[in-house]
Each structure stands twice: as structure tokens, then as C-alpha cells.
């Protein structure tokens, strides 16, 4: 049982490049979300999804896009990376939006 | 802005002592959750307390919730060096269901 899997674990991008952070869960959870974690800031919600085909914005959505074509996958896209997007990104899933969340191991992204 | 504010930001204690962390929040919640994060790792769920509950236990963990004061506390009893980690409270909004995290408390337990 893999739980929540994030790839890649580490990534270095140049300013202006694009990339997709992958997140997959095998628990058949409806609710999935993306957070970024910066020193002294805790975790901030970027985007979330309450089910396939449904996404919504969190606290800090600018510069990020998401889609949810299947229950299992919830990729996060950076269309034009900026140094301000240097952070550790966590994907999480839960059975419902009010139950405990299961987190991936994170993707450490550096934008130079 | 983030929903939860945690206090203290950092805590250092000796093994065997109790550790108490506090969390305050601003809006109506469905539940409040506590998570633990070891350095460089993902978050692990510890305990969930619903808005109609006042206290909950899980092993050496005790969580209280005071909805009138919009605050919660996490008590770790008889701490161990292995409890060294960051601890986060997260509030689940009554209106949106979104899980919003506080800034966390870094706990160091010295052997």
C-alpha cells in the first residue's frame, strides 16, 4: 500500500521554465490538496480538489494550475517558474474533506 | 492568512518531562487536527478532535479543545528523544472543509 506518492523528490528549475509535480494516491480518496511549506510559514494551501473534475483555489494559488481527471492523480503545474516558488511542496489526500489527511514525502523545488 | 497560530514556536525539554503546545484559531471549525513532521519528511496525522468534543486521548497524547476561546492544546506526556519533531495544528473549516495549518511548534527532547 503506497499511500500518497510524489515525484520528483528534488528539482532545480531555471526562472521561466515550466514543470509538473506529480501526486498519486491509491486509497480511493476523494479529497486531494497541494501545500507549500516555507521556513517560518507553516503549510499554505495552494489548490484542492473534492473529487474528479472539481478543483478550487486555496490561500496561495497564483502561479500554479491543477487538474483532476482521475480520482488517483492530482498534478500541480508551474507554467513559468519564479524564484518565489522555491519551496517544499506537499500533496495530501483524505477520504472526505473533514477527515484526516495523508501526506506524501514532499518535493523540494529550487528555482534559480 | 493562516487560520491557526501556535505557541510556543520552539520548545526544548528533557526526556521524561511533559510538553504542551497551544493553538488558537479564528473562525468556525468542523474539527481540529494535530500533525507531526520529522525533519525533511511528510506530515503524519496524530489526532482529530471534533468541534463537539472537549478532550481526546491517544496513547501519550492528550488534546483539548475550547471552542468558546477558539483554542486547543496538545500535551505529550513522558516525552522521549524520539518525540523530537515539529508539531502542527490544522483546522478544518465548517464552511469549506479546507484544512488550514498553523506555523508549527518545534519540539526538542534532550536525552
B39 touches chain A (CB under 8 A): no
CB pairs A-B closer than 8 Å:
66
How do the residues of chain B divide into helix, strand and coil, expressed in percent and rounded to 5? 5, 60, 40
* Mean pLDDT computed over A4-24: 97
**Separation of alpha carbons A63 and A105, rounded Å:** 22
Tens-place pLDDT, residues B1-28: 446 688 899 999 999 999 999 999 998 8
From B85's Cα to the closest Cα of chain A, the distance in A is 14
Residue B98 to residue A104, Cβ atoms within 8 A: no
pLDDT of residue A98: 79
Residue A44 to residue B101, Cβ atoms within 8 A: yes
Residue B48 to residue A100, Cβ atoms within 8 A: yes
Tens-place pLDDT, residues A61-92: 999 999 999 999 999 999 999 999 999 999 99
pLDDT of residue A39: 84
B58 touches chain A (CB under 8 A): no
Contacting residues for A29 by C-beta, under 8 A, at least 6 apart: A71, A93, A94, A95, A102
Calculate Rg over the CA atoms of chain B.
13
Residue A42 to residue B33, Cβ atoms within 8 A: no
Tens-place pLDDT, residues B41-86: 899 999 999 999 999 999 999 999 999 999 999 999 999 999 999 9
pLDDT of residue A1: 64
A40, pLDDT greater than 90: no
Contacting residues for B5 by C-beta, under 8 A, at least 6 apart: B23, B24, B25, B102, B103
* 8 A C-beta contact, residue B34 and residue B51: no
**Distance between the two ends of chain A, CA-based, in angstroms?**
36
B108 touches chain A (CB under 8 A): no
**Separation of alpha carbons B74 and A81, rounded Å:** 38
For residues B47, B50, B56 and B60, what is the CA-based torsion angle, rounded to 10 degrees?
Answer: 10
Instruction: Give CB contacts under 8 A, 24+ apart, made by B42-46.
Output: B42/A4, B42/A90, B42/A103, B42/A104, B42/A105, B42/A106, B43/A43, B43/A90, B43/A92, B43/A101, B43/A103, B43/B88, B44/A103, B45/A100, B45/A101, B45/A102, B46/B74, B46/B87
Chain B residues in contact with A102 (beta carbon < 8 A): 45
One-character DSSP codes across A32-85: EEEEEEETTTEEEEEEEEEETTEEEE-S--TTEEE--SSSSB--EEESS--GGG
Amino acid at each position: 500500500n503506497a499511500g500518497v506518492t510524489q515525484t520528483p523528490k528534488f528539482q532545480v528549475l531555471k526562472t521561466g521554465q515550466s514543470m509538473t509535480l506529480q501526486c498519486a494516491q491509491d486509497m480511493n480518496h476523494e479529497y486531494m490538496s497541494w501545500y507549500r511549506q516555507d521556513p517560518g510559514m507553516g503549510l499554505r494551501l495552494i489548490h484542492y480538489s473534492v473529487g474528479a473534475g472539481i478543483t478550487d483555489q486555496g490561500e496561495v494559488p497564483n502561479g500554479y494550475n491543477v487538474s483532476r481527471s482521475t480520482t488517483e492523480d492530482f498534478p500541480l503545474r508551474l507554467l513559468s517558474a519564479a524564484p518565489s516558488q522555491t519551496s517544499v511542496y506537499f500533496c495530501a489526500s483524505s477520504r472526505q474533506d473533514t477527515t484526516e489527511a495523508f501526506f506524501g514525502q514532499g518535493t523540494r523545488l529550487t528555482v534559480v | 492568512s493562516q487560520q491557526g497560530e501556535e505557541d510556543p514556536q520552539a520548545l526544548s525539554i528533557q526526556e521524561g518531562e511533559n510538553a504542551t503546545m497551544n493553538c488558537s484559531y479564528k473562525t468556525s471549525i468542523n474539527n481540529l487536527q494535530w500533525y507531526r513532521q520529522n525533519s525533511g519528511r511528510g506530515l503524519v496525522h496524530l489526532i482529530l478532535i471534533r468541534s463537539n468534543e472537549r478532550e481526546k486521548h491517544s496513547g501519550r497524547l492528550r488534546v483539548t479543545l475550547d471552542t468558546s476561546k477558539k483554542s486547543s492544546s496538545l500535551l505529550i506526556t513522558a516525552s522521549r528523544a524520539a518525540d523530537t519533531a515539529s508539531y502542527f495544528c490544522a483546522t478544518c473549516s465548517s464552511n469549506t472543509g479546507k484544512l488550514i495549518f498553523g506555523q508549527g511548534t518545534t519540539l526538542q527532547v534532550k536525552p
